[in-house]
Structure 1
Amino acid sequence: MYRFGCIIILLAVVYGTTLTHDFVWDDTYIIVNNPLLEKLGNIPAFFLSEDTIEESSTGYYRPVTYISFALDRAVWGVNPAGFHLTNLVLHIVAVLLFYAVTAVLFKKERLAFVAALIFALHPVAGETVNFLAGGRNTLLSACFGLLALLFHVRNKPVPALACFTAAIFSKEFALLFPAVFVLYDLRMQREKFRAGRYAPFLVPVAVYLTLRSFAVQKANFLDAINLPDAVAAPYLVARYLLNMVAPFQLKVLYSINPGTTSVILCCVFAGGVTAAVYYFRKHDEILFSAFWFLLFLLPVINIIPLHTTTMMADRYAYFSLMGFSLFLAAVIGKLNGRGMAVVVVALCAVYAAIDMRHNGVWKNDIEFFTRMTKDAPERFVGFKNLGMAYYRKGDTARAVEYLEAGDTKRDISVNYLIGDAYIYWKENRLDKAEKSLRRVVDVNPSNPEPYLLLMMIHEQKGDSDTAQDYRNKVLGMVGSLDKLMTDRTFEMCRTGETYMSKGQYADAEIYLWQALKIDPDYIPALVDMGSLRAGQGKLADAVTYFSKALDLEPFNASARYNLAMVYQMQGRTAEARAEMVKFRDAENREKHKENVLR
């Protein structure tokens, strides 16, 4: 038990600082602003829901992960410390289970302890522990998967089946565990293959695939297989292995552009590793570690393209790290007692130092996205996210600086360029907005939206001739300028309302501002902007927006009610009462109109 205690204390010391970290990156969308997590009664819905980020499909289906987030929300609210504590506890549990599995498989306590220490403290595991939205699914799947393997080894099929089921509903990686069961039975137990022993595992797999087919838009992930893209597989295997051997250049965002020479060298390297494994094939630890390492890399080496920002990430290698840790422990175990102790202590010290330094990268969005811009300076995503992080903090100068830097990157999409143009326009940086929109025109000249915005910007500048030129181009594309502006206003307003419902006021303001810039008299956007300003505590601005809406539509019940509430917050009691009377009158008129329409 003292070994368990040693592991727990080391991990608490190394990762204890994560408890002071904020939510970072996708945590905001998946955890903080996810309405499904607000009530435990929504848990059944998780089994028919796809993972989404900013309303976009991901192709992932991980209901047990969302159950864990819902439980955290029930206990901690939106305090990030509680979520980080859960991640840390799950990593500790995964390490202890890995220790137990290794000890049972090979009957070598020292080997198991060293392998567990390496896995526990290796820097490649750090991203999985630090990243809530991206790491929780891996931690849960690892814990349940290792438990399933432990029960299988101890010949307890029912608990093994239950844990396997929980594992695959946490993350699809766990679908590979039956292959580990088969290897154990054939290699270590010297048993003949018995299909009936593994048939029960097909039941939860069938249930999982059936439910997934209802939840996920593109349910058949086998359709995504693209063998020409799999040429990068040897390169990715080599990169992951290199990161494990020498974890000194780990990144939060990797740029993967393997050239032909790199792929050839990696294939030669992979061939050498395969030959070495074959040479040591009679050593169970070596064979098992190599099989484990390669098996759990299969889903992340681009044979099936990932629906993520990057082709490679440290968190993808968490399972494979167990195989590497076992291999390294087996090699270290060849040393004499004192030499082994010195190497293990030195490794743990180096790993711990790297971990504690790297943890700081995940402290908050500013730190994280700053590091992303350094890790992948040729990509736009870090600059875009860093710019938006500063914008949400109210630091407009830095926001514009980083957004503009992101606009120069070759991989930025048209939608992001247009979004940045709106921000520049909102902040009265008209030349920057025009520059961004001109790039959109160069990339996608058939898109009418940049011409519409350029028309409005030049109208604001007082350049009527240039504005008319852009107006003519829009008319030549769409025929009806009014319809285009009406549709765009409605779309922006609805998007702003979505962000408001999630409490993302800075993002909501951008879209509502866009709607009002296109149509300053659009009443739903005026009411929404008034509500947003009231939520921000800017009551005078809220009164202005509600009053304008009522000037345009005196019997708008929503505007009357919200204006009454704002007056009440300002201490203007008499005016609040008068507005409530008008609200009831407007409400009665709306009810009467509905009855007539029926």
Structure 2
Amino acid sequence: MYEKNNPDKAVLFLDTILWDDPHYQPDYKKAERGLSWGYLLKNSELRPDLAKKYFERNARSDDNNASPLYNLALLFIDSNQLDSARHYLKKGFFITPDDPKYFAKFSELESSQHNYSLAEKYAIEALKIDSNYPPALTTMGIALSSQGKKEAYLYLSKAYRIKPKSFEHTVNLGIYFSQFVNIDSAYYYFTESLPFSPVKQKEAIYGSLITLAVAKEQRDIAVEYFEKLTKEYPNSQLIVKKKKELGI
């Protein structure tokens, strides 16, 4: 019961046990069992700081396994330690050069730093490996649209066709059409993205839909989305701005 009511302490307690467990040591299957616990810590956002040591232990124990290197890169990206992230992406790529995810992640990283030309080059390399790899199509589209290139649509729409139920691919088309002022299409894709929208992103989607509904002269619909925004995100900083747009 104590652990149930104190999940942070429970995770730390379990981590202490697993870290010292003989089956998690380098001399037992190259510490590969620790990777599963590391993935859980990272992907569930429980304690990514604890995940790091499991990935490092496995990387030291197995020179031919790129998985811990890639996950270390992701951890460093999340903590904005980009030079370290680049280091581990390069190491992982040298082990598995036929995997497009390394170039795609390089592209995503450089786009986040507004290095769009370099991001485009990395995306091209990823697509040479796999022309249907959705993350590479996505980051290629983002790099191109950020440079004002309309051919971004070719890549974003292809990613959407491959995974039409993906929030990321759907909302990216909404953003694309907003950027190039196609109000009806932007409205369509933002609306389509709502059922798949994570809680953290839905607030911004509501904001975009309010603006687009106003532009389409559909005030009643805009007000409906505003009511959803205020109900689900009562402390949203968007509320004042959207009130002005609606003339409330």
Which bin holds the TM-score, normalised by the shorter protein? 0.5 to 0.7
Task: Report the Cα distance in structure 2 between the residues aligned to 1:86 and 1:483, rounded to whole angstroms.
Answer: 43
Partner SS for 1:79: helix
CA distance in 2, matches of 1:437, 1:572: 34
Q: Is the 8 A contact 1:489 1:515 kept in 2?
A: no
1:563 — aligned with what?
229
> Is the 8 Å Cα contact of residues 106 and 122 (structure 2) preserved in structure 1?
yes
Identity %: 11
Q: 1:427 to 1:411 in 2, by over 3 A?
A: same
- For residue 548 of structure 1, what is the aligned residue in structure 2? 208
User: Deviation at 1:385?
Assistant: 0.6
* Residue in structure 2 matched with residue 79 of structure 1 by the alignment: 8
Q: Which residue of 1 aligns with 2:130?
A: 444
**Alpha-carbon deviations, 1:548-585, whole Å to 9, x = none?**
21122351677323432477426999999999xx9xxx
Question: Higher relative contact order at CA 8 Å, sep ≥6: structure 1 or structure 2?
Answer: 1
1:421 touches 1:434 (CA, 8 Å); kept in 2? yes
What letter matches 1:381 in structure 2?
Answer: S
Pairs within 5 Å for 1:12-51: none
TM-score in terms of structure 1 length: 0.28
Code of the residue aligned with 1:491 in structure 2: it is K
Partner of 1:204: none
- The reply to whether residue 487 of structure 1 matches residue 161 of structure 2 is yes
| Pair 436,126 (structure 1): closer, same or farther in 2 beyond 3 Å | same
1:523 aligns with 2:190: yes
Structure-2 separation of matches of 1:393 and 1:558? 37
TM-score of the pair, normalised by structure 2: 0.56
Structure 1 residue runs of 5 or longer lacking an equivalent are: 1-70, 92-122, 129-239, 245-249, 255-307, 311-361, 475-480, 497-510, 535-541, 583-598
CA distance in structure 2 between the partners assigned to 1:388 and 1:378 by the alignment: 19
Letter of the 1:374 counterpart: R
The question of whether the paired residues in 2 share the 8 Å contact of 1:380 and 1:412 is answered with no
Residue of structure 2 aligned with 1:371, choices 40, 48, 57: 57
Residue 382 of structure 1: CA displacement? Answer: 1.8
Q: Distance in 2 between matches of 1:86 and 1:448?
A: 35
Q: Is 1:398 matched with 2:84?
A: yes
> Structure 1 CA distance, aligned partners of 2:212 and 2:238?
23
- 1:104-154 CA-partner distances (Å, limit 9, x unpaired): xxxxxxxxxxxxxxxxxxx771528xxxxxxxxxxxxxxxxxxxxxxxxxx
Rounded Cα–Cα distance in structure 1 between residues aligned with 2:210 and 2:242: 15
CA distance in 1, matches of 2:99, 2:65: 11
Q: Does 1:252 align with 2:26?
A: no
Larger CA Rg, structure 1 vs 2: 1
The CA deviation at 1:410 is 1.6
For residues 71-220 of structure 1, the aligned pairs below 5 Å read: 75-81=4-10, 84=13, 88=17, 125=22, 127=24
Q: Do the aligned residues in 1 keep the contact of 2:210 with 2:223 (CA within 8 Å)?
A: no
CA distance in 1 between partners of 2:9 and 2:197 (Å) = 29
Q: Please say if residues 434 and 454 of structure 1, whose CA atoms lie closer than 8 Å, have aligned partners that are also in contact.
A: yes
Q: Is the 8 A contact 2:35 2:68 kept in 1?
A: no
Matched residue, 2:200? 532
Indicate if the aligned counterparts of 1:406 and 1:412 stay in contact, CA closer than 8 A. no
Letter in 2 for 1:380: A
**Equivalence map 1:237-316=2 (5 Å):** 243=27, 251-253=30-32
SS in 2 for 1:436: helix
| Partners of 1:394 and 1:253 in 2: CA distance | 26
Where do 5+ consecutive residues of structure 2 fail to align? 37-47, 179-185, 214-218
- AA aligned to 1:547 is G
What is the one-letter code of the residue matched to 1:484?
K
Q: Check conservation: 2:170, 2:190, Cα contact below 8 A.
A: no
Shift of residue 533, structure 1, vs aligned partner: 5.8
* Structure 1 residue aligned with 2:43: none
1:546 maps to amino acid? Y
CA RMSD of aligned residues (A): 5.2
Measure, in 1, the Cα distance between the counterparts of 2:35 and 2:15.
25
1:369/1:386 contact within 8 Å kept: yes
